[in-house]
Each structure stands twice: as C-alpha cells, then as structure tokens.
A and B are shown apart, each in its own frame.
Chain A
Amino acid sequence: MAEMQVEDKGKKGKKPKQKKHATRVDLTPMVDLGFLLITFFMLTTSMLKPQTMELTVPTKDDVKDEDQNKVKASQAITVLLGKENRLYYFFGAQENGVDPELVLTDYSSNGIRQMLVKRNSEVVNNVNQLKLDKAARKISEEDYNKKLSEYKAAKSAPTIMIKATDDSNYKNLVDILDEMNICSIARYAIVDITPYDLGLIDKKTPPAK
C-alpha cells in the first residue's frame, strides 16, 4: 500500500523533490534486538527440569510395633547408614542371643549393589528381560507396568530396612533409595534406628585412636 502511494505522488509530479523511497528497511538493529532477547531468555530459563524420586511413608497411626516385627527374618536385610559414607548391612535378626554378622560395604556398584542384586537375582533377571522386551517393542507400556509390579512383588524378593544414623547425610539416603530402584526392590522401608543397631556398628568399628 505504502509503495502505491509513493508512486502516485511521483506520477502527479506535485512534489518533484521527493525521492522515491525504497520500502526496504534496514533490519540489522531489529536482528540485534532479537538476539539480545534470545540471549536473555536462554540465560534465565531452566530448560532441564529436575528429576524426582517418589517416596511414600506410612502415617504414624498405621505403624504399630507388632507390624514392624512381622518381616520374615529370612528375607530381611537391614542396611545401616553410618558416618563418613560408611554402609553396613546384616541379614535377618538376632537369633537366640547370637548377633547377626555385620558387613561393612560402600555405595559403589561393587559394594551394596552386588549384594542386593545377588539377593534379588530372580527379580532383577525378570525385570531386565522385561526391559529388553520393552526396548524391542514386544510388549505394550501397559503390560510392561503390570508385569513390572508383578515381578517386583515376587515372594523371593528381600525386604530391606533402611536405618540411618544421625551421622549420615542426605546424599547417603538418596543413594540407598536409588539402589533400591536400580535393584528393583519394591519392599523397603525407612525405619528408625534402634540402640541395638547402633551397638552393632560400635562393635564393628575399631575404637578411635
């Protein structure tokens, strides 16, 4: 439209001095502005959304002392988070006054994970196979989720009790919860540490010099 008007005026010749203006505008400043704003948005945004780990704990009213002891000793593994990233575990519970053997390990993949995978081998194998199937698109998402929870609920799966001492830190807790995920363990609980467990750790740790 603007161009038309310019031409009209030129033809009429009323204003001979007026030059034919090019309708093209120099866009360089606009580009500058555009990129400036892009830079601003790129720097202020957080593109990566953080991940979350879902955790459900029972309400206090639901938990009774009798329930806590219901875990079968043969399937129970107690994991104790100690200070300075130390990690201990023992199987079962005290029997006839004999203390279970406390093993010192760490958070690496050769540490606690090896033990958990060994203990939970049936489930881990099943789940791995399932994941391969899913990757090869042999099964649907729905079936996958259904079977996953089915496998995880297997009777042979161990029950883990996570007991953190006051000297452990949040990273330790997240790490151990993460191991539960990695090792496909569905039955685990964060339990308050007892003086008995602390005693076991004390016996295991060499006295400070």
Chain B
Amino acid sequence: MSLIHIAWKSIRQRSLASSLTAFNMALGVMLMVAVLVFYGVIEKSFKQTGAHYQLIVGPKGSKVDLVLSSVYRVSPPIENLPYLYYLQLKNDPRVEEAIPIALGDVTQEGAFPIVGTVSRYFELPYADKKKFKVKAKNGFSGSFDSIIGAEVAKQNGWDIGSTFKLVHGGADVGHTHDEEFTVVDILARTGTPNDRTVFVNLKGFYQLGDHDKPVEEAIDQLQKFYPDGVPGGEKRIKELREFAASGGDHHDHGEEEGGDHAHHHHHHHDLPDELKEVTSVFVMMRDQDDYAAYNFMNELKTGFQAQAVNPTQVMTDLMQSLIGNVQKIMVVLITLIIIVSGIGIFVSIYNSMADRRREIAIMRSLGAQRQTIFAIILTESVLLCLGGGLLGLLLGHGLFFVGAPIIENSTGLIIDRYAFEPLELTLFPVLLLLAILIGFLPGMTAYRTNVADVLSE
C-alpha cells in the first residue's frame, strides 16, 4: 500500500473538511488560471495580429488609434493618407511589400468592418509565419468582389456567391450604398480580427457612390500633405479641376462625414489617384532586420504628415501601460487568496492531528518509521493542494471557455477558448512548495508522536 493510498484514505476519512479545503484552493487557482489565460490570450492576440508587418504607415496622430483601427478594426480610423503616398511607399526601393488599407464602412448585416485592400494582402502572412487559408483560392477579380473572415461567414451565414451591401460610416448612423458586393472566398479561422472582417476589392471601394470627397478639398489636403509641392505640380491640379468640372466629381457636400473615412467615387470608372485615399499602409521592409524599419520610422517623424509605427511595439506598450499593472495587482491578490486557502488546508490538517495521534501510533507500532509518518502527512497536504489546484485548473479553463464569447464581443478579438498559458505550469511547482510548507508543521507533530504514550492512553 503506497503512501499516496494511505494519505488518500485519511483524506477520505475527513471527506467534508478535506473537500471544502481543497475546493477553497480550487477557487483560488481557478481565478489565477482564468486571469493568466485571459491576459495571456489578449496579449498574444494583440501582439500576434499584424506582427508580420514591420510597420503600419498612417496619418499623424495617436499610434494606438492607428494600430487599433487598421489592424484590430475596433477603433475608428484617424485620418487618411493620399493614395499617391501609398504608391510612393510601394515604389520605395527599401520597401518589400506595401498593402493599402481603406476603412470606414460596415456591412449592413452584422455591422462587420469593411476593409478595402488588394489580393496581395491574402498572399502574405497575417501573423508571424501564419498564412491565410482560403476556401476557394479566389482573389479579387471583379471590382465588387469580397473575401470574408470565418466569423463573418458563420454569423451571417454567408457562403461563396452571397451578396451584401455596405453601410457608410457605421451601421447605426450611415446610409446604405447601392452597390452590392459578392463573396468570392472565405478565410479559414485565424484567431485574429481578420475573422470578423469583410475585405473588399479596393478598386470597388473607390467606386462606391454617395460620399466622395470634393476635388477642392482633396487638392487642399494634398497640398498640406506635400507642402513642397504636389506630385505633378500645378499642371496636375489644373487637370483635376478640369476633371471635376467635366462631371467626374458628382459628390454631395451635405453627406460628407469628415476625415474618418477613406473616400470613394460613385462613378464606376477609375478615379484619378489624387482623389483616392487610404487609411493606412501595411509595410514590410526589404531588409528584414529591425534597423531598417527603425530608420524608416525616424524618417517619418520629422516634418511629415505621415507616421510609421511598429504594431507589435505599440501593442506591447499599450498592454504594459493599461493591462500590465492590473494584471500584476490581480495576480498578487489571487496569490494571497491561494495562500489563505493554503492556511485553510493547514488548519484542517493540523486540527485533525489531535484525533489522529492514535492512528499514527498504530502505524508506528506496525513498523512505520517517523519519516514515513511525516511523509504521509506531507503527501496528504500535497494531494489536497494539487488536487485543489487541478480542479481549479479545470474550473479556470471552464470559466474562460464560458467567458470567451463575452471577451470576443467586447474586444472584437477572436478568442481561442482552449488557450493554455505556459505560466500555468509554474502554478504546480508553486503549489507543491506551498503544500510542503503547509504539511511541514502537522508532519512534524506526527513525527514527534510518542507511540508508547499514545498506545497506553
């Protein structure tokens, strides 16, 4: 009969006290696990998303807003960049890939964010070494083609061939565009905001009607963006004015909603590049080391209307400043809860020692050594702590599993319900140490039991 068996029998003998103390420990561990997994998943999800791109280039403003809007699509876009600047980035010899992102609309059904982009977006990894998997391998061919995320397909019940309309500038306040987009492909689940995004062909995005920017305003912005002269010079500006005068610019000024929207033209023919805008550009440098990206970021810092940020760095900083401290406080509080649970187990075992003196003396009379008795008490403590810990681990993951949809709804992230945080593994050595500390004093009491005295009582 092993020590574990003997210790287990003793635990079962005091089943009510044992189960209550172990459950107490389980609750502490449950909270700890839930917090670790919750923060772990959020952090991982935030850091991983867009990590493949070294830089996000967008208009000057809050770095966090830029990343939250372009990568996470949970915050409204700040401003826009001229499409010309996107072309400039694309042709920059230091830049390997430049992917335009245009935001602003949502789907009529489900209010999923719309991202106007190019097919190349899906050929590049969405996270570090993770490539998109698609259902039909269809890129954008028609202007009104759309590729949707897995969650969109699931929630809206859309499949390849489904058609939908967009609502301008937010599901509640905007109006519906006449144009219909057709789903040509569906992305496999990625666990990133891509799952909740509807991608449309950038070309089609620019062809949407009803809310394109007035030419004069576009020219004004271009002049601000390029204070040293708009590419093409005054001659090009004149051409644009002529284009507008010829009927190319059929905007309705009353429906303008400000600069938080990438702008489109309602005529289904190509808009001059000067009148197009993008919300941001995802950039991969040709030189993969961080130095090149760092230099590029610095270049944009001084006297330019755009900024370049490293999405991972921005999110890491945000996590640290916002959630990092909260997490630390919670971990400290929960550690105290676990210690209090441990004290509960200690009290339970220690109180039982008076009743168990005879039991211990009998075992000693049967030949059990002092160390064996000590080990039995210690094993009991370990079983209660680790048993409680294991139960807590299951409950913690259960809690997370149940709570995941709430997090998804509030953060826009897709949460892996089966997420496991490696830090959880350190809980068990810690619990083992706690169990040894808890069992030590009762163990010593058992160790010192005077067999002859007890047997004579």
Q: Do A and B come from one complex?
A: no
Interface residue ranges, A against B (CB under 8 Å)? none
